[in-house]
Structure 1
Amino acid sequence: MEIDFDVVIESDDYSVEMSKGLETLQGASEVTRQVFETILLEKVPQHLTTNSKVRTKLMRSFKGSYGQSFCLETDDQELEKRLKSIGKQAFAELLSYFINESLYRETKLLSVKAERIRAKLGPLEDELITQMRRSSLAHLHSVSTHFGKTVKLRYRKNRDVQTVLADLDQFSFSALNPKVDKTKVVINASITRLNINTGNGRLQIEGEAETVAFGFPNRYADVRQVAKKQFSKNLDDNNGLPNEKRIKLKLEAHTLKLKSGKIIKYLIEGIIN
């Protein structure tokens, strides 16, 4: 069983500088294998080698800016069986989820099947995201960072149907190296998503339309149980309510910022009663 993907690099003449183009393709291979090896082997790969049971294979190039197809495959019968039981669509959803989560972006709601697989990973999710931020996502951004070109990673359902899993550019690359601002801020926000294994999630600040990532400065296991329950309760109480009617928590936090000053994550230090 193969899962087909492609990388599309912005180009006016259907060509790309070879060195950085190859580095971008390397990044596409790395992030794809890291996600799938973690799911299939239930272990985050620290080093990707040609001896791995999961591999990517270059297919054909195509026009449309500059495009290169590749596929994910395995010849291990047990992994093949697990791959088939999970399905191509769920894998594509999870790849998109982990890339965008690594870049502190809002992610699309996962299907029931994909969400069940994600939840089963538990603490491996944070470990996987940390590993992706180390080098593979930087490689995937190579053409963007050096030439200002946009890069799209897509899932190819068939020749005519492709789904964009991630859009990458210079701005998204900057999220890989945020600045920690220790200045304390107080915000009124409602919790819109919460991972009970890692403590990471999304919140919506009062008066704002977009959500922002949040987490905790220390291990989630060390966060007091009473605080965990307040976050979970806020999420439950606001389920299905429009933003203007949601119950807000008054939170003290410090932040992760981009060079532009944009806040991409709040690190919660406490709840102000």
Structure 2
Amino acid sequence: MPVNLDIVIDTAEYEVDMKSGLDTMQGISDATRMIGETLLLGKVPERITAKSSIRTTLKKTFKGSYGLSFRLDVLDEEPRKELRRIGNSVFTELMGYFMKEALYIETHDPSDKAQKVLDKLGDNAEDLIKQLRLSVMKNVHEVAIKFDYDVSVKYRKSFEERIPLARFTKDTVHAVQATKTDERLNLMASIRRFNTNTGNGRLQLEGEEETVAFGFRVNYRDVDFAMKKKFSENLDKNNGIEVERWDYLELVANPIRLLDGRVVKYLVVGFIDA
């Protein structure tokens, strides 16, 4: 059961610079295969090789901006069984999730089925996100960087139905250049989303309207249980109540900043008891 996908480059002409276009398509192919190997083989690949049973195959081009169809092929029986178990819809939902997380973009809450797959991945989920950021996402953005064309990836569920998974623009490319610092900040934050199996989530600083991604400075498996519980309790307590009544945690964290100084993620070091 191959997964059929489309790449769409938003250009008024039905053409694109060959070098940049190929780099972008290679980046999307590598991201797709990397996510596929992690979900179906249970390990995060350090690099993509020709020996893998998870492959991408070019199919055809189409009009309406510059479009290219491709598919994810699974050659061995065991990963095929895993794909059938997960299902194409959940697999592609997780494709979009990991591509966005690699760019610090806020995502919708995963479906129950997708959440179960994420929970099973544990630390591999964060390892995959880090691996995608190393080089793959830089290649994905080549067309956006050099020609200011947006690029999107879509799941072709049927001939008529195409579901957007992720969009790459001259703005999202800044996330690739984000850097982790040793700067330590004290934050007053409310936890708005928290995955108790991976340690990733979103927090909202007191007085701010937007959420920001957060994780932990150390591997999540090494985080003290009392700290994990503190985060989940804050999320539960503040869910469904007015912002004026929220409780906040005082956290110590290292920021990950864009070149312009904006923070896209906080790596929590600890919290301060009141």
Aligned to 1:235: 235
Report the TM-score, using the length of structure 2 for normalisation: 0.93
User: In 2, Cα distance between the equivalents of 1:108 and 1:74?
Assistant: 28
Aligned to 2:259: 259
- 1:2 Cα offset (Å): 1.3
User: In 2, Cα distance between the equivalents of 1:69 and 1:244?
Assistant: 49
Distance 1:78 1:269, change over 3 A: closer
Cα deviations by residue, 1:18-47 (Å, 9 ceiling, x for unpaired)? 011011111111111111111111011222
Cα deviations by residue, 1:169-216 (Å, 9 ceiling, x for unpaired)? 122111122133444333221111223344221101223222101122
Aligned to 1:209: 209
Aligned AA (1:27):
G
Aligned to 2:17: 17
CA RMSD of aligned residues (A): 1.7
Matches within 5 A, 1:183-222: 183-222=183-222
* Residue aligned with 1:176, SS: helix
For the 8 Å contact 2:123–2:219, the answer to whether it is kept is: no
Unaligned runs of 5+ in 2: none
Aligned AA (1:265):
K
Matches within 5 A, 1:91-240: 91-240=91-240
For the 8 Å contact 2:33–2:55, the answer to whether it is kept is: yes
Aligned to 2:57: 57
Query: Does residue 1:81 correspond to 2:76, yes or no?
Result: no
- 1:131 Cα offset (Å): 1.1
Report the number of matched residues: 273
Give aligned-pair identity as a percent: 44
User: In 2, Cα distance between the equivalents of 1:53 and 1:222?
Assistant: 33
* Residue aligned with 1:47, SS: coil
Aligned AA (2:215):
G
User: In 2, Cα distance between the equivalents of 1:49 and 1:180?
Assistant: 29
Unaligned runs of 5+ in 1: none
Q: Which of 46-55 and 29-38 deviates more?
A: 46-55
User: In 2, Cα distance between the equivalents of 1:200 and 1:115?
Assistant: 13
- 1:94 Cα offset (Å): 0.3
Q: Which of 230-239 and 96-105 deviates more?
A: 230-239
- 1:161 Cα offset (Å): 1.3
For the 8 Å contact 2:119–2:198, the answer to whether it is kept is: no
Report the TM-score, using the length of structure 1 for normalisation: 0.94
- 1:250 Cα offset (Å): 1.9
User: In 2, Cα distance between the equivalents of 1:19 and 1:8?
Assistant: 16
Aligned to 2:6: 6
Aligned AA (2:202):
R
Cα deviations by residue, 1:75-101 (Å, 9 ceiling, x for unpaired)? 322322221221111011100111111
- 1:268 Cα offset (Å): 2.2
Which 4+ stretches in 1 moved above 6 angstroms?
Answer: none
Aligned to 1:42: 42
* Residue aligned with 2:106, SS: coil
* Residue aligned with 1:175, SS: helix
